[in-house]
Amino acid sequence: MSGMASDHNNSSQEEYIPHSLQKEDPFASKLSREADIIAGFYLTIIGILSTLGNGYVIFMSSKRKKKLRPAEIMTVNLAVCDLGISVVGKPFSIISFFSHRWMFGWMGCRWYGWAGFFFGCGSLITMTAVSLDRYLKICHLSYGTWLKRHHAFICLAIIWAYATFWATVPFAGVGSYAPEPFGTSCTLDWWLAQASVAGQVFVLSILFFCLLFPTAVIVFSYVKIILKVKSSTKEVAHYDTRIQNSHILEMKLTKVAMLICAGFLIAWIPYAVVSVWSAFGRPDSVPIQFSVVPTLLAKSAAMYNPIIYQVIDCKFACCRPGGLKAKSSWKKSRTYTISAHRDSTAMNETQLE
């Protein structure tokens, strides 16, 4: 009898059909109407704040685009990714939550899934590049002397190509985009891992190249920075005031970058954990009501950066018309960029409190 039960379980595992292919409507909301309305209002607030915050960064940056330094260019790219998530993706899910079902069919589902993954991947890879910039600038001092604007644009091209490749791979028949179990949003079809070995390879590849590897680089960079700072604190104390101020500035900027990365990862890791469990765990073992919470948390990631900058009282240099001007009689705000040059020109442009 136990053998028959085991055979039955194995066969049911092999014959598992993802929710998006079952007979019931995959786009009908599995949540209560009240829960959908609450989620709709939540995403509306997140979308407005994210659009205003990141839009302001981009708008003010465009006024001095020819004066942007390499690190500022990378920060603007992060704002572009966050704004893209808010403008391109959120209206679809907001309308669907208020309508109590996904309103845009399979074509809209695939577009929404692609856009969300594209901009999300772009954000994470941009932060990976930023963490490497911080690591090289703090731990390898000669790095800052050769980095020019064209290097930043080359890096941007690589970031966008990387995000485009991985977001488009599902359209090549390797994977797919599908509705979430609760019906009113779409994402990568994590449930393909339940169906075949090819699906498992697809999901594992996405997890490694678009989450685990970038996260490992970020963690490595900031761990090395922390160790370097601990070992060089006494050494810096013997330098002159200009070098000490430059070191303090780099540390403040590094803390900003660390907070940005931490905010992004805190928002996305719960969603990644639930997705992996859905892909490789027992079929339908994640309750539908539970799966919506990590999804909503991940969608809030685009809002965090402007809030982080304000909380730590930082202002982005490229968000101030005409740049930063020396006014010794006034209290100066900290810079909002992810990086700054160590030379005297940068120190003249950036004022510490």
pLDDT at 255 > cutoff 50: yes
pLDDT at 313 > cutoff 60: no
Please check whether residue 178 lies inside any domain of the structure: yes
Name the CA radius of gyration of the chain, rounded: 23
Please check whether residue 352 lies inside any domain of the structure: no
Q: Tokens representing 76?
A: 């603007």
The total of structural domains in the chain comes to 1
Please check whether residue 111 lies inside any domain of the structure: yes
pLDDT at 130 > cutoff 50: yes
Please check whether residue 343 lies inside any domain of the structure: no
Residue with tokens 């260019």: 73
The span from the CA of 59 to the CA of 306, in Å, is 14
Selected residue with higher pLDDT from 226 and 24: 226
Selected residue with higher pLDDT from 302 and 328: 302
Q: Tokens representing 220?
A: 């490595």
> Between the ranges 121-125, 197-201, 250-254, 255-259, where is the mean pLDDT highest?
121-125
Please check whether residue 283 lies inside any domain of the structure: yes
Q: Residue 3: pLDDT band by 50, 70, 90 thresholds?
A: very low
3-state SS class at 145? helix
Give the pLDDT of residue 235: 55
Stretch among 78-82, 206-210, 318-322 having the lowest mean pLDDT:
318-322
The span from the CA of 348 to the CA of 85, in Å, is 36
Please check whether residue 103 lies inside any domain of the structure: yes
The backbone region for 212, taken as left when phi is positive above 0, alpha when psi lies in -120 to 50, beta otherwise, is alpha
Q: Residue 342: pLDDT band by 50, 70, 90 thresholds?
A: very low
CATH number for the domain that contains residue 45: 1.20.1070.10
Percent of the chain with pLDDT over 90: 33
Please check whether residue 101 lies inside any domain of the structure: yes
Give the pLDDT of residue 300: 87
Could you list the residue range(s) of the whole structural domain that residue 87 is in? 33-233+242-317
Stretch among 198-207, 248-257, 344-353 having the lowest mean pLDDT:
344-353
> Between the ranges 23-37, 221-235, 318-332, where is the mean pLDDT highest?
23-37
Residue-averaged pLDDT of the chain: 77
Q: Residue 110: pLDDT band by 50, 70, 90 thresholds?
A: very high
In tens, the pLDDT along 67-77 reads 787 777 888 89
Please check whether residue 322 lies inside any domain of the structure: no
In tens, the pLDDT along 147-164 reads 678 888 999 999 999 999
Give the pLDDT of residue 193: 84
Closest residue by Cα to residue 246 from 130, 127, 348, 129: 348
